[in-house]
Amino acid sequence: MKFLSSQLSYFFASRNTKTNVRKLLKFVGVLFAVFIIYSVTFHYIAYYEGQEHSWLTGFYWVLVTMSTLGFGDIVFYTDLGRVFSMVVLFSGVLFLLVMLPFTFIEFFYAPWIRAMNQARAPKKLEEHVKDHVIITELNPVTETLIRKLNSYKIDYIILEPDLQKAVDLSDQGYKVANLDPTDYDTYSNINIYNARMVVAASSDTINTNVTFTVKEFNPAIKVVATAAYGDSVDILQLSGADHVVQLGEILGRALARRTLGGNARVHVIGHIDELVIGEATAQETPLIGKTLQESRIRETTGATVVGIWERGIFKQPLPDSKITDRTVLVLAGSVEQLRNYDELVSIYHVSDKPVIIIGAGRVGLAASKSLRERDIDYRIIDKDPGRIRDKKKFVLGDAADHSVLKKAGLDEAHTVLITTNNDDINIYLTIYCRQLIPNIQIISRATYEKNINTMHRAGADFVMSYASMGANSVFNILEGQDVLVLAEGLTIFNHRVNHKLADKNLIESDIRQDTGCTVVAIKCKDDGMIVSPDPKRKLQLNQEIVLIGSSEGETKFTNKYENGNGNS
């Protein structure tokens, strides 16, 4: 009923609707007048032929003849009657079979369909909509962001200038407005003064236009823009963007952090307040063969092992967890504590062989830059001669050619990064490299989340999603918090203790049992950041807790402990 009322409101709100309805009514009036005239004439001609019929019969005959049904139960025998029958028949064809459908479709049906579409993809938001996120384009990044917004019960609207595309998105369940994000007048119709943020996620040039237009309309609104090229960052900032997210740079560095080469030092992933999260390989260190309890990492360095990677599989750290040459330790602690760990293992050199990077696009170049900063050698394979920069580091050719991979040093390499923007190619190359070198570490990029499981099945140790990295980066800005992506489907995030968790210890809260997430740290006013807190320690209202868990676990945690109460 509500949808019908919205359709009617859009239908009658059009300036052409009244004109169209008036034209339709005029045509119906003319048709009715012709029908009456024919009915009266029928009786005169019938009387002329000696026939007598009721008025209802006259109406019946005219309707049957004009509609071309022609039952033949009432007929004229004179030439005058037959001529009249032909006139009624031909005018019926013209009025009922040609003009009536055309007029109905033109002046009523088509406007009604447009009104239905406008009801599904409106050009104006209702006034009560507020605290929403405005998104300028639906793509893999914003699609993932929308799922995250939905899990946190944050409203959003997608701007789509093409009506049919907007309707299609609405039919798929998205909240969409049929508006052009580069049009100044758009922002007077989407409650921008009550919005939380604008996400400009199109091309760099369109994002610049959108950012400038939005800031001209409302200078106070927060604008986050994505940038494909480094040269666009300054321009987007000059146009008014509060935050510019270089997704290629972020993903490239994230892929590079997964490499086991170089040395055994901690490679920092990120930090949440004073808590620093890093990863370190155990390869060629005295830790191999020991359990976590026997390694005494916490006792000697102060850093805590909060997770273990084994061939791309994340495991919860237990005292009897065995450390192997393929183990990557996820460490949490202060800067000083992680430095203590570095001093413990800095003398151990893991490998000086180069990392193979397949693809010299933005992601591949960002990965090479990150490896260079860590003094890790690398080789980049690309079949585009225009991308070749340093002949010592670049190998021209197709990575699907074994001779090209061999020239790059695949037989001796310990890690290969697959960074192309085509998921099908990445899956193909993952299978190929795994077949050639079964023990090599394969780290692959995924553009679409639907391909992540396929890449794991193909043999990838780690898969980093372009969409997830971008969505989390934007969401961090929105919420003013840190959500660190360890690998696809695994994040570290924080939460402010509310009444659902206050005055309970970690055992009583059942967080791990109910959500699969683990509390790795508690931020206290008096004691600072407590890493790996005692399970019997009680949580206090408004304390910050830091958790590690899968994407599904984060969603479960959000639904159970945040939705309905906020973060405070």
Structure confidence at residue 13 as a pLDDT band (50, 70, 90): low
Structural contact between residues 436 and 106, judged by C-beta atoms closer than 8 angstroms: no
Give 107 or 245, the one with higher predicted confidence.
Answer: 245
Structural contact between residues 339 and 358, judged by C-beta atoms closer than 8 angstroms: no
Token duo for residue 466 = 């372009």
pLDDT for 4 beyond 60? no
pLDDT for 17 beyond 80? no
Give 428 or 249, the one with higher predicted confidence.
Answer: 428
Predicted TM-score (pTM) above 0.85: no
3-state secondary structure of 129: coil
Q: Say what the pLDDT of residue 236 is.
A: 94
What is the assigned CATH class of domain 262-351?
A: alpha beta
Cβ-count burial 512-531 (b if 16+ within 10 Å, e if not):
beebbbbbbbbbeeeeebbb
Least confident of 27-31, 155-159, 282-286: 282-286
Domains of the chain, by residue range, sit at 2-120, 133-245, 262-351, 355-466, 489-562
Query: CATH topology for 489-562?
Result: Alpha-Beta Plaits (3.30.70)
Q: Say what the pLDDT of residue 117 is.
A: 62
pLDDT for 109 beyond 80? no
What sign for the dihedral angle of Cα 436, 442, 447, 453?
A: positive
Q: What is the pLDDT of residues 205-241, one digit of tens each?
A: 999 999 999 999 999 999 999 998 888 999 999 999 9
3-state secondary structure of 303: coil
Q: What is the pLDDT of residues 530-541, one digit of tens each?
A: 877 878 888 888
Question: Which CATH code is given to the segment(s) 133-245?
Answer: 3.40.50.720
3-state secondary structure of 361: coil
pLDDT for 9 beyond 70? no
Q: Say what the pLDDT of residue 450 is.
A: 84
Structure confidence at residue 487 as a pLDDT band (50, 70, 90): low
Q: What is the pLDDT of residues 493-505, one digit of tens each?
A: 888 888 888 888 8
Q: Say what the pLDDT of residue 16 is.
A: 65
Domain 2-120 CATH (choose: 1.25.10.10, 3.40.50.720, 3.30.565.60, 1.10.287.70): 1.10.287.70
pLDDT for 2 beyond 80? no
Q: Say what the pLDDT of residue 103 is.
A: 78
Q: What is the pLDDT of residues 420-472, one digit of tens each?
A: 999 999 999 999 999 999 888 899 999 887 888 899 889 888 888 888 888 88
Cβ-count burial 51-87 (b if 16+ within 10 Å, e if not):
beeeeebbebbbbbbbeeeeeeebebeeeebeebbee
* Spatial CA neighbour of 493 closest among 557, 543, 536: 557
Q: How far apart are CA 419 and CA 411, in angstroms?
A: 19
Question: Which CATH code is given to the segment(s) 355-466?
Answer: 3.40.50.720
Least confident of 29-38, 421-430, 506-515: 506-515
Percent of the chain past pLDDT 70, that is, above it, reads: 90
Check if 262-351 and 489-562 are the same fold.
yes
